[in-house]
Amino acid sequence: MSNIREHILQTTCNLMEKQGYHGTGLNEIVKESGAPKGSLYHYFPEGKEQITAEAVWQSGRMTAKRIQNGVSGGSNAAKAIHDFILNIADHVETSGFAAGSPLTAVAMETATKSERINLACREAYTLLETAFKEKLLESGFTKTKAEELGTFITATVEGGIILSRTYHSGNPLRTVAKHLKVLLSQ
């Protein structure tokens, strides 16, 4: 894959993470990425919907990889997931409450507007759920319980990100981390 294409996708992820789908225009993507306007249309001939769907899917892959790396190692699921969420809280705070996940903003804004983007969001969230599920399976949870908890953890973290950004405090995510640790230790 082209470096220019990758850079355009990463720029799109960064912009949508900060300002959402509707707040991000193609001209802004071109300006922020430094890519020639023709490159945008060369790599993404179907326009904003295509670039958004691909950016969301890429973000899901990268976030799932971060989850896998963040929870890997010898720690049990309860501790590993707790510590991973604390890192998210710190990241949201150090970003000035602009970071968290492009998935959150895009999913909320496009859920009923674009089937293509909604499908990309669903696939991305499935990757996140699976990353948590794998750690839970490794820690001895049954397949059914790990799948349910993978969804629960993903939903809880996404809600924690929304609240942390809204309240300008990482404390909602720290609360999520604390209570998930208790739940996963039982």
CATH code at 180? Answer: 1.10.357.10
Tell me which residue range forms the domain holding 170.
Answer: 57-185
Residue 9 lies in a domain: no
Q: Check whether 1 has a pLDDT greater than 60.
A: no
Residue 21 lies in a domain: no
Q: Are 20 and 101 in contact (CB under 8 A)?
A: no
Mean model confidence pLDDT for the chain? 93
Residue 63 lies in a domain: yes
Residue 176 lies in a domain: yes
Residue 94 lies in a domain: yes
Summarize the confidence of residues 71-77 as an average pLDDT.
86
Number of domains in the chain: 1
Among 17-21, 98-102, 128-132, which is the least confidently predicted range?
98-102
- State the pTM of this model: 0.91
Q: Are 156 and 176 in contact (CB under 8 A)?
A: yes
Percent of the chain topping pLDDT 70: 99
Residue 51 lies in a domain: no
